[in-house]
Amino acid sequence: MQALDKKLFRDFRRLWVQAVAIALVLSCGVALLLTSFGMYQALDDTRAAYYERNRFGDVWLDTRRAPETLLPELRAIEGVYAIEPRVVGAAILDIEGRSESAVGQILSWPEDDDPLLNVPLLRSGAYPAPTSTRDVMVNEPFAEANGFEIGSVFHANLNGQRRELRIVGTALSPEYIYTISPGGMMPDNEGFGIIWMPERAVAAAFDMEGAFNNLSVRITQDASEEEVIDELDRLAEPYGGLGAYGRAQQISDSFVTSEIAQLRGMAMVVPPIFFAIAAFLVSMVMGRIVALERSEIGLLKAIGYSDLEICLHYLLLAGFIAVVGIAIGWGAGTWLARGMAVQYAEFFDFPYLLFRVPGWVYAISGLAALVTTMLGAARAALAAARLAPAIAMQPPAPPRFKRSVIDVAMARLRLSQPTVMILRSFFRWPGRSAMTCLGLGFAVASVVAASFVNDALENIVDVAFYQSNRQDAMLLFTENVPETTIAEVRRLPGVLQAEPQQYLPAILRNGPLEKSLAVEARRPGTDLSRVIGADGEVSTAEPGGMLLSERLASQLHLGIGDTVEVEFLSGRRETHEMVVTGLVEQYFGLGAYADLDYLNQVFRQSPQMSVVNVTLDDNELDALHARLKDIPRLSGLIMMNDTRRSFQDTIRENVVVMNTVYIVIAVLITVGVAYNGARIQLSERARELASLRILGFSRGEVSYVLVGETMLLALVAQPIGWLIGAGIAQAMVGAFSSDIYSMPLILNPDIFSRASLVVLAAALASALIVRRRLDNLNLVSVMKTRE
């Protein structure tokens, strides 16, 4: 081992605290890169394998009632590889021991016991026998939430007939990775279940003998999904086709796809911040090391070491720091990625998890950490290599001092000498001060970003659940019913208010652009379900006009006053042109709203409704649920109070985890920046501080110089961090926006104050740790040290 190698290890051992502080910041970037890509890759691989093994469909078609004689024509469509017709229905469930009614999605199980597409994965028990009229298979989360076992019995209201059903098996389906009820906002495994029932029994219950109302389609790799959908719609139109759609609109897959896209976006945005901060810290430390070792560098060159060897020596010292950070980041990142991937798999009801962090992710993360560290050390290493031996053996020329406006101002303010020292150091090295403030600003920004999500979600809850949807429950009917039925609803036990609403499946078109969705029709002045924008104002669709959410209008390139073509897929299946009379910013879904009375008039029909919004007397809930279990045309019940509670609980759990992670990150960044900055200040100003002690300044006054400069930098960093945090929050709003939901940009003052308190506290703690070294300073030895 050469002398230069021994020096390398001694330097690293001497600087191990500073090295670890930098390595921890670097490891955050490596770990977040691994975690994001690891979770993204695990979910993407698991989903792909699940879909392929269980033959997940590519396109779906819903109809009112299509005859099986149509199947040959559907199979003959160019690009169609396989099709599977089904009968799908909804039922209100009566579960023993549960006073509330539940909702079941009924799916027919083929008679040959061998589904072609969307094959459920059997988890326990057996498939239902084709000849049975009461044996069913249910999805596993529903069974677990209700304590069902093989042989358990519950009752269902199948199209007005109360039937006893016996569970013979449990399964998971690729169609229901994210199991959410029609009209629901959150999964409710206890109140909503998937039920597979023999085809004969389902067809008889829903009057579908020789017919189907749902079709799953698998297309060939070279097929055009759009052309297949158009042909499916054409053939299904005479039979009440409700519009074919691809995976992008399949509710379960759309949620999973949105989450995977967010993970991928996070991997691209957050880690570079940590790499940049680590490079800055390395640059600070290496620059000071070279400045302190000028004489040693001159001596090494004088005895024969080349410029290249000197440069590589300091680059290797930085490389050691990078290696430590990479090792910590790889270990923490792999552990976090696996743990969070398991949580995602459980939340999304995957039957298994294929966890694999590709080797290229480790390579990219390690290379990124190494390159950024080398770039941070490059300036100092090149400066060391350029030093001529004769010049290096001499003390550096003292910096030039010239009185400035700032010095005049400090003199007039009659500031104390320690305060003047702090301010002079701050302004004498503006580049270093700016970079230190920028590093601390990123720490502030990380807390702002986390806190913003918390406030944004609280705003979503307030607007969506307490201003827009103020009803206690929503009653969903299997099909449109006369509005006179609302009188019967008002007579139900515990119903205090009841308001009609109608959902009409439709396709909105503007030239070549189109979007399939459900148009919501309601009357002006409704109290329970309202259209509330981000500004908190109630918006109403005018007769003959349509109110659109801003995201939907943007996708269709529509503005106020433009005309949109609306093809209604139910009732008379007519196409009408309507004027866009208003735009509203919303957080859930792509909304399109129309006047209920106007649509009834256009369709030349008596008033219809498909949903009733109600408020309830809590004391009569049990009696209400008992009555609802016997209503024949009721297909669903959404208890909004339960939905609100579930959404808030989920938010609370996620926010606690997110805030904890980001606060830890902020503390690590602050410690890395503030501790290294304070150590460098101490090494640079040791003679000055020792001189002050000799001149009679107290230990507290001397400590004030060291701690004061660190805290001044931290204070100046606050507005920088606020601006960076606001920018990151804005980027997150864009990244999280999808057809399913969007996030508002909410930046309340308490967000910034919380971030500042965290960073200032961490900076003070770091400075105080370094201040303890002042107590151990040997004044005589320090004063003998050559400048």
Segment 551-585, tens digit of pLDDT: 888 889 998 889 999 888 877 788 888 999 888 87
How high is the mean pLDDT of the chain?
Answer: 82
Euclidean distance between CA atoms 787 and 784, whole angstroms: 9
Q: Which has the closest alpha carbon to 674: 25, 4, 3?
A: 25
Q: Which residue has the higher pLDDT, 89 or 637?
A: 89
First to last CA, the chain: 31
- The predicted pLDDT at position 347 comes to 79
Q: pLDDT value at position 582?
A: 86
Of residues 59 and 685, more confidently modeled: 59
Q: Which residues of 540-559 are buried (b: 16+ CB within 10 A; e: fewer)?
A: bbeeebbbbbbbbbebbebe
- Residue in this structure with the two tokens 């209503």, named with its chain if needed: 631
Q: Is the pLDDT of residue 107 over 90?
A: yes
Predicted local distance difference test score (pLDDT) of residue 315: 84
Secondary structure of residue 413 in the 3-state scheme: helix
- The confidence band for 272, taking pLDDT boundaries of 50, 70 and 90, is confident
* Token reading at 211: 């017919």
pLDDT of residue 124: 92
Q: Span 594-610, mean pLDDT?
A: 86
Chain centroid to CA 322: 30
Q: Is 473 helix (H, G, I), strand (E, B) or coil?
A: strand
Contact 733, 742 (CB under 8 A): yes
Range in 229-233, 664-668, 708-712 with the lowest mean pLDDT = 664-668
φ and ψ of 633, to 5 deg: -95, 10
- Which pLDDT score, from 0 to 100, does residue 787 have? 47
Q: Which residue has the tokens 């104002």?
A: 537
**Residue 652: C-alpha distances to residues 596, 735, 748 (Å):** 37, 21, 18
**Alpha-carbon gap, residue 228 to 216, rounded angstroms:** 12
Q: What percent of the chain has pLDDT over 90?
A: 14
Token output for 271: 């880690």
Task: Please tell me the predicted confidence (pLDDT) of residue 123.
Answer: 92
What pLDDT score was predicted for residue 150? 94
Mean pLDDT across the stretch 45-64?
Answer: 92
In the chain, where are the structural domains located? 1-55+252-396, 56-251, 405-469+641-787, 495-616
Beta bridge partners of 84: 216
Tens-place pLDDT, residues 731-783: 777 766 666 667 777 788 888 888 888 888 888 888 888 777 766 655 555 55
Is 186:650 a contact under the CB 8 Å cutoff?
A: yes
CA pair distance 217, 533, nearest whole angstrom = 38
Q: Are 243 and 505 in contact (CB under 8 A)?
A: yes
Q: Report d(CA 210, CA 529) in Å as an integer.
A: 40
Round to whole Å and give the CA distance between 232 and 184: 28
Q: CA–CA separation, 392 vs 632, rounded Å?
A: 94
Percentage with pLDDT > 70 across the chain: 90
* Residue type present at position 12: F
- Whole-angstrom distance, CA of residue 174 vs CA of residue 180: 13
Indicate whether 194 pLDDT > 70: yes
Encode pLDDT of 352-400 as tens digits.
888 878 888 888 888 888 888 888 888 888 877 787 776 666 666 666 6
| Length of the chain counted residue by residue | 787
Sheet containing 211-219: order of strands? 80-86, 211-219, 59-67, 244-246
* pLDDT value of position 392: 61
Q: pLDDT tens digits, residue range 507-555?
A: 899 988 888 888 888 888 888 888 887 667 788 888 888 888 888 888 8
- Helix, coil or strand: residue 245: strand
CATH number, domain 495-616: 2.40.40
Task: Give start and end residues of each alpha helix (H) in 348-429.
Answer: 359-386, 389-392, 405-413, 417-428
Amino acid at 556: L
Q: Give the C-alpha distances (Å, rounded to integers) separating 213 from 61, 113, 128, 194, 220.
A: 8, 19, 21, 17, 23
- Per-residue DSSP letter, 529: B
Query: According to the model, what pLDDT value does residue 71 have?
Result: 92
Nearest to 162 by CA among 631, 476, 637: 631
Q: Which amino acid is it at 446?
A: S
How many Cα atoms sit within 13 Å of 511 on the Cβ side?
5
Which has more confidence, 341 or 720? 720
Residues contacting residue 445 through CB under 8 Å, at least 6 positions apart:
721, 722, 724, 725, 727, 728, 755
What is the per-residue pLDDT across 112-164, written as a single tens digit (0 to 9) for each?
A: 778 899 999 999 999 998 888 889 999 999 999 898 999 999 988 887 788 88
Rg (CA), the chain: 34
pLDDT digits (tens, 9 = 90+) for 698-722: 777 777 877 888 888 889 989 998 9
Condensed to tens digits (0 to 9), the pLDDT of residues 403-434 reads 667 767 777 777 777 787 778 777 777 777 88
Burial class for 647, CB neighbours closer than 10 Å (0-12, 13-18, 19+): middle
Residue, of 739 and 436, whose pLDDT is higher: 436
pLDDT value, residue 457:
76
Q: What distance in Å separates the CA atoms of residue 644 and residue 414, rounded to the nearest whole number? A: 60
Nearest to 101 by CA among 156, 153, 167: 156
DSSP per residue over 740-781, as a string?
A: SB-------HHHHHHHHHHHHHHHHHHHHHHHGGGGG--HHH
- Give the pTM: 0.75
